[in-house]
Amino acid sequence: MHERERRQAENEGLFRSVNERIERLAEGPFDSAAAGERAVDFVCECADTSCTEPVALTIREYEAIRAAGNRFVVAPAAEHVDTSIEHVVDMSSRYWVVEKLDQAGEQAERDDPRA
């Protein structure tokens, strides 16, 4: 893996860990079926460390994305996707899901805190 790709993976992993914490906090006192349908602002998991785009997801949507360790949620715009290491696998008006390819995908799987 090239140095640039390694740094990108580290940045995305950091944003993913922030989102894991957001999810735990969002589930906290609202542990009910309705809470799973309420949209929560997560952070964009793109490689840009200066990105501050919020991404509104329900807990169920976030869980569906996190079911695969090589998938990340990003704000719905092309500048949040690096087509050299990932491709978009799902699009909505609120978020896009990208899947890491090749070595970047393998690294994402290894770094997945849920693995």
What are the tokens at 99?
A: 């899947």
- Asked if pLDDT for residue 41 goes beyond 90, the answer is yes
Kindly tell me if the per-residue pLDDT of 5 is higher than 90. Answer: no
Interatomic CA distance for residues 40 and 55, integer angstroms: 8
Segment 8-24 shows an average pLDDT of: 78
Residue 28: per-residue pLDDT: 59
Confidence band, pLDDT 50/70/90 cuts, at residue 17:
confident
Distance CA 55, CA 76 (A): 8
pLDDT confidence of residue 105: 83
pLDDT at 36 (0 to 100)? 56
pLDDT(107) > 90: no
For residue 12, what are its two tokens?
A: 């995305």
Residues 6+ apart with CB under 8 A from 80: 44, 46, 48, 51, 53, 74, 96, 98
